[in-house]
Structures are given as C-alpha cells and as structure tokens.
Structure 1
Amino acid sequence: MNLSLPHADVRIDAAGIATLTMQDAGVLNILSTPVINGLRHALSQLSHNKAVRVLVLRGAGDRAFVAGADIAEMAALDASSAQRFIANLRDLCNAVRHFPVPVIARIPGWCLGGGLEFALACDLRICADEAQFGMPEVKVGIPSVIHAALMPRLIGAAHSAWMLLTGELIDARRAQDWGLVNAAVPQAQLDETVYKLAQSFAALGPEALRQQKKLLRRWETMSVDDAIEDSVGEFGAAFNTGEPQKFMNEFLASKRRGKG
C-alpha cells in the first residue's frame, strides 16, 4: 500500500512494515508548521491501521533525519505564537511516543534540536556512523524543551546537562556509547540494518508487541511496585489473543523435531 499525503509519503509492505518518509521539507527535513501538521495527519491515519506491525520514520535523502525546527518561522514568533508552535511539535512527538507499534528512527546524518526530540520519541534509533547529534537551542536564545525531557532517563543527568547547556554536537560513536542511539553502522549498511530490525518486529505477534509498547509507556509514570502489579493483568489478557498458544506450541514443536 502506498499513500501520498502533504509532507509525508507512506508505504506499507506485505509484512506490515510501514515507512513514513518526510517530504517537501527541504534538503535537511526541517520541521515547519505545515510539515508538522502533515506528519501528524499521516501518523494519525497509520495508528488506526491494524495491518501495521512496525513503523520506520525517515527523512527524504541522506543528509539529515531532521536538522531541527524551522528557525525562519520561529524568529517571527511572540510568546503566544511560540507556545502554539511548540505545542504542535509536542503533539507530533507524542503521536510517535504513543504510536501503537514500535517506531524506528532511521538517522543518516544531521539530527538536531526538534529533530532529535522527534527521534527521542521513537522506540529505537539506528544511525549511520557519519551522523551528528545536538541540542543547539541555547545558541539561538531558547531552551531545549518538550521531549528533551526524555534525555536524562535515557543518557543520564551528566550527559544531558552537557548536551543541553553547551549546545555542542556529538558524533555517532559517542551517541552510541551514551545510549542515545541503539546502533551506529556504516552508511552503506544503514538501510539493511533498519530493514532487518523492522522484519524482526513484523515476525512477532502483533498483539504482544502492542501490549509491550503500551506497558512501556505506562511504566514511565508508575512506581516499580505499581508497574509490577499492573503487568499481571496484561499477562493474563495476552492469552485471550491466541498468540501465546500459537507461538509457544510452535516453539515446542520445533524442539520436538530437533530431538527427533
């Protein structure tokens, strides 16, 4: 299935791997209000499609994932319009964080500011070893906000303070060492790595994956004890889907064949 929407090209293959490619956002995939609105619309449509097993987010071209929010647009804002702009970007990132299936960010190059926040909202981030990451907002007179708040729990307080207070860039190797990305691979291997990861998700039980993603988001707002108790009911509910019976019996059958 292919779908062309304003600022978004959507493709869903037979395995349920959806790829959302940003369109008409410049060579660096800049997040302006029209682009943000287009991506939000595309994500809303995809979120209701039960055929989708995993979503890959990418920019057009390989110069950038997203090199930030639109500075030309932001330079003309006042306090009121600035809040509207950032609330719209917040809602875009939340649409990714709460997307019902795993979301993979494909990061070939620049990933800066609002673009890094967009990537942080994804479940997994795979980058090329040429990629560069930064939160340079302080250098243009604004703080890093919204999903920059995810950074301390992801990479720790010290690394977050360095990135957010200095506005300096880090390379792919450091991003991987700090836990900002899950893998950094040669540019020539980026698509293959992302696709293999997406295939591994597509091969799993779709209801189990949706349950696990939902639990990950819920656990972020719970104490450990509450999260443990909350998960008991979810474990039982999994057996209403038929997936545990299917996958466990397939596993047992393969073990029996191996012994034979």
Structure 2
Amino acid sequence: MEYKNLLIETTDAVATLTVNRPQALNALNSEVLDELGRALYQLEYDSAVKVVVLTGAGEKAFVAGADIKEMADMSSYEGHRFAVKGQHVMMAMEKMKKPVIAAVNGFALGGGLELALGCDFIYASQKAKLGFPEVTLGIIPGFGGTQNLSRLIGPNKANEMIFTGRMIGAEKACSWGIVNEVFAPEELLDKARETAAAIAGVGSLGVAYAKDAIANGLNMVKEDGFRYEASLFGVLFATEDQKEGMAAFVEKRKAAFKNR
C-alpha cells in the first residue's frame, strides 16, 4: 500500500513506521491521521511484522503537533470531529496485538506527544522536547492527552504540563516516567529496533495477551484485573506456542514459536 506521508520499512519482523512530512515538522493533519489509521491496520494483519517502531522523518521533530493551519478555521463541530479522528488512531495503537515503540527523535508536542503516548512505551533522543502547548492556543489536548498522561504519571505532573503549556526535555520526561530511556540522537533508532527485535524473538501470542492484560486491567478494580489475567493465562495453555516454549525450556533449546 502506498502512502503520501508515511514510510514503512520491515526488517526481521520489525516494521519502522515513519511520519514523513519533514517540511511541516511531521505535523498531523487529517490526511496524515487517515493514513496512520490505514497503516496500523495493515501492520496489524501483516504476518511478517511482530513489532512496530514509530518515529518521525528528519532530525528536528518526531511530530511537532497537529496542523494548526488546518485547525485555525475549524468550527466547533469540525474541531470535535478532528479530535475523534485523532483519538481513533491512538486507540488503534493501544488495541493492536503487536507492540508499538515510539522513537522520539525531536519535538513531540501536542498531537505528537499524544501519538507517542498512544504507543506501548517511549524511547527518546537527548535532543527531544515534549509538551502540551494547547492552552497557549486557547484549546486543550484533544487526541487523548489529558487521559493518557494523567494515567501514566498521575494528575499532579500532568496538570503542570498541560496547564502551563511548557516543554520539558528528555531527561526530565524520563525522570517523570513519560519516557523509558534516553539515547544519543545517532543511537535512538538502533536502540528502539534492538528492543523491538528482542520482543519479536519471543512468543508473539504471549506478548499480545500481556499487552491485553495490562491495558484492560488498568480499567478494572484490582481483583477483577487478577481474574482477567488468570483467564488469559489459562487460554494460553491451549496454544501451540505454550507447548513449544515450555518444551524448549526443558530441552534447553531455542523455542520455535508459530504464533498459534
């Protein structure tokens, strides 16, 4: 499938999905959001792909935000529709069975930070800057930022970031728990792909069920989360991958998982 604003490169079961609009600092307009939705669907059902790394083209920006030129003249109805379109992309990543790792190589502001937060975890360049500047434009984050950030780092720090509109550096974002790890710019993509390859090398069904248990368990009271985890744990014992994984451990060999 051809995309105007995206690049997809797959190597050894790891797909690198790049937002390729560097002339606009990879800003998210309606066209880019539509393409991201289609690309995520394509990658979800591509049997050659087990993990996705999401990044932005160029050295300046991961995604600098939603496209303000497109938003400036929107009506209330159009603004709502645009927010819902963006939220659908974030939810598509969260619901994917395959892990998505954000490699934040520069500015991740507004919709760009929301895109990163929609991934399963974030690696960042030392040069990365993250923030929600929406209040400086008279609006709020609309692609799930108020919900995802507060759930990730708690309301106090989320309130500070969102209420002030200030940017923070990668190291501070790491200390706050937004970013998992910070790397030199030239190392970032390789490190993200290295982690993706490690994930691709284990049982994909196990990873998918673990992602499901974590994401859905967060929306449950703890006892219900325990029950949900146990049910998924039990289901996996009916899979070929469970038999193969445990047999390989006993026989001291590398497992040959078949994702079934």
Q: What is the TM-score normalised by the length of structure 1?
A: 0.92
Conserved 8 A contact 1:68-1:116: yes
1:24 maps to: 21
Matches within 5 A, 1:5-24: 5-13=3-11, 15-24=12-21
Report the Cα distance in structure 1 between the residues aligned to 2:148 and 2:21, rounded to whole angstroms: 28
| Equivalent AA in structure 1 for residue 45 of structure 2 | H
Q: Which runs of 5+ in 1 are unaligned?
A: 256-260
**Residue-by-residue CA offset, 1:218-254 (whole Å, 9 max, x unaligned):** 1122111011111222111112222222222322333
How far is the alpha carbon of 1:20 from its aligned partner? Answer: 1.1
Where does residue 166 of structure 1 map in the other structure?
164
> What's 2:108 paired with?
111
SS of equivalent to 2:57: coil
Unaligned runs of 5+ in 2: 254-260
- Residue 232 of structure 1 corresponds to which residue in structure 2? 230
The one-letter amino acid paired with 1:102 is P
> How many angstroms does 1:33 deviate by?
0.7
**Could you give the per-residue CA deviations for residues 32-78 of structure 1, whole angstroms, max 9, x where no partner exists?**
11111111111111112233210111111121110000001111101
Partner of 2:190: 192
Q: State the alpha-carbon separation in 2 of the partners of residues 225 and 218 from structure 1.
A: 13
Question: Offset of 1:112 from its aligned partner?
Answer: 0.2
**Paired residue for 1:93?**
90
- Pick which of 40-49 and 3-12 moved more: 3-12
Return the offset for 1:184.
0.6
**What amino acid does structure 1 have at the position aligned with 2:32?**
V
- What does residue 249 of structure 1 align with? 247
- Cα gap change, 1:98 to 1:26, in 2 (>3 Å): farther
Shift of 1:10: 1.6
Change (3 A) 1:43 1:25: farther
- Provide the residue aligned with 1:38 in structure 2: 35
Q: Deviations over 1:81-140 (max 9, x none)?
A: 111111111111111111111100011110000110110010010001111001000001
Please show how residues 109-148 of structure 1 align to structure 2 within 5 Å.
Answer: 109-148=106-145
Match of 2:219 among 213, 218, 221: 221
Distance 1:131 1:61 in 2: 13
Aligned residues: 252
* Alignment-derived partner of residue 258 in structure 2: none
SS in 2 for 1:204: coil
Task: Say whether 1:71 aligns with 2:77.
Answer: no
Q: Which amino acid aligns with 1:38?
A: E
CA distance in 2, matches of 1:213, 1:52: 16
- Give the distance between the partners of 2:111 and 2:182, measured in 1 at CA: 21
Q: CA deviation at 1:25?
A: 5.6
* Equivalence for 1:258: none
Q: Which moved more, 1:182-191 or 1:132-141?
A: 182-191
TM-score when normalising by structure 2: 0.92
Match among 30, 55, 60 for residue 52 of structure 2: 55
1:27 Cα offset (Å): 4.5
**Structure 1 position 207 matched with structure 2 position 212:** no
